[in-house]
Every structure is written in structure tokens, then in C-alpha cells.
Amino acid sequence: MQVISDMQPPAGPDPVMDGDQKTFMQDVVQASREVPILVDFWATWCGPCKTLTPALEKVVRSAGGRVRLVKIDIDQNRQLVQQLVQMGLPLQSVPTVAAFWQGQIADIFQGALPESELRRFVEALLKMAGGQMPGADLLAEAETALEEGDVQTAAEIFAALIEQEPENPKAYAGLARCMLALDQEEQALAVLDGAPEKIAAHADLTAIRSQIELAAAGREAQSKFGEFEARLAADPDDHAARIDLAVALNAADRREDAAEQLLEAIRRDRVWNEEAARKQLLKFFEAWGFMDPASVKGRRALSAILFK
């Protein structure tokens, strides 16, 4: 187990640096293929940033070079921030910290966390980078049980983990997934609603909430496949029909097809109905998860459209 201590780290290059939009690809995306990178999005006017950044620097330096920190001033790098927001990174408020590994976003948190929680966040990132399942042994056991189809056992373990760690977002997300596997959407929502306010906006929990919302919309849309296809055959610029068709395709677990319909709507008119197609696509990414193959492929295609 990799543990971050308060001992003086070995001498070497400072793992903390300032970054900007010109060096982001090199300092963050490319560098994360060798070592996990934390990106601290901050602003001079942000009070909580003045607390978070020094604590984050201390934790990163104590990791002895196993993780790096790149600090981005959002006011000095507005173009970069705009691009990342359009890709689905929640930068509407600061401080926001995104963890990058292997060129992709691995985890995110917002707000000023205490040093102890920062250490746990970085330790989990290091475990992930080492190829291990993040979280405690109970979490790994529960995930395994759920993957093997033993939903009841998984639910019991996740519930036990919540008792031990009442602010563990992955435990709440796991229990909610168990409820969904048992076709108990209301119970899944109850689990999400019961999560402490401190973790209510965690990416794992918001992803499941989006899944539930999309499933409900998809059930209604699936009965109208033919109608949507007929409308598009008559008018390829019927963007409302294309978005509804995408929702139906997603409900049928045809993720890449769903994404392609929305991408086509964006290609034809990216600002239609206040960018409804792009917003729906970002909701898909949130529900599928950042690392899902359909999300990865879709984000690349979206980037090619928006930044060509």
C-alpha cells in the first residue's frame, strides 16, 4: 500500500508548477502517461483557493515525486477553461481539482478539503495508477460481488462500508447501483438522496442520478423509434427528433450510435436550442463515466468539431 507521510521527501525536481494553456497538453495530458497529475484550477479572488492550494502543495510534495501538481489560474487561461468546460469538465466554480492519469480525467473534486481528505484523495489516485482497485478492502470485495452478479451480497457490503465510512461516495454509489440492478429505481434515488451534503455532488453519485433520469426518458422514447426516424428522413435538420432518437438509442444500450446522433446534430447546428445537443451529450458522458469507451470516443469527436 502506498501511504503519503509527513516525512521529508527525497530531493529532486519540485513536483509543483504553474501551468497555462500553451503548456497544458505537455504538462498535464502527456505527462500523466508517466505519473498522475493533479490540476488545481484557482483564481486570485477565490478565498477557499488560498486555503486549498498550500495544503495541496504540501500533500503533493510529501508524495516524493509519485504525483505532480499543475496550477492553472482560470482568469489568465480563459480559452483553456472554455475548452475544458465544453468537454464536460465542471469549472463553473473554483477551486476545482482534476486528477489526470494516462491522458484522461481519473477523478475530480471541488471546494477546499482538509489536508487529511487531500491525502486520501491522492492515495486513492496512487492506488489507481498502480493498477489496484481504489478504496478499502470492503469496497473491492463489494465491487467484485456486484461484477459477479451477487447483487445482494454486494449491497450488504456497500451498506456496511457506509456505516464505517459515512462520507465515502463510492460506497453510496455502489449501493445505488445495486438497487438499479434489482430494478429498484426509487430505492436507488433514496440512497443518493441520503448521501451527506458534503459528497452529494461527487461525480460517482451524479453519474448514477443521470443514469436514472436517462433511463426514464429512454423508456418513453423507445416506443417512438419509428416516429423519430421518419421525421429525420423527412427533415435531417429536425434536431429535436435527432436528440429524442439519441435518448432512445442510449436506452437500448447503443451508446456509440446515441453519441453519433448528437454529434451529427452539433455538426449541423451547434447552437440550436441553446446547445441542447451538446448538453445532452455531456449528460451521456456523465452517466456513462469519463473512462467508458463511448465517452472517450465521443469526447474526441466533440473536440474535433468544436476546436477544428
Q: What residues are labeled active site?
A: 46, 49
Beta-carbon contacts of 298 under 8 Å, excluding residues fewer than 6 positions away, are: 256, 259, 263, 281, 284, 285
Q: Which residues contact 125 (CB under 8 A, 6 or more apart)?
A: 36, 38, 67, 99, 101, 106, 107, 134
The position carrying cell 498535464 is 28
Can you tell me which residue has the cell 488545481? 40
Contact predicate 94/43, CB 8 Å: yes
Whose CA is closest to 290, among 59, 140, 128?
Answer: 128
CA separation for the pair 212, 215 (Å, rounded): 5
Nearest by Cα to 302 from 260, 246, 239, 268? 260
Query: 214 and 183 in contact (C-beta within 8 Å)?
Result: no
Q: Note whether 122 and 100 are within 8 A (CB).
A: no
Distance CA 16, CA 197 (A): 31
Instruction: Name the packing angle between helices 239-251 and 272-288 (round to 10°).
Output: 10
Specify the 3-state DSSP secondary structure of 285: helix
Burial class (CB in 10 A: 0-12, 13-18, 19+), 263: buried
Contact between 204 and 170 under an 8 Å Cβ cutoff? The reply is: yes
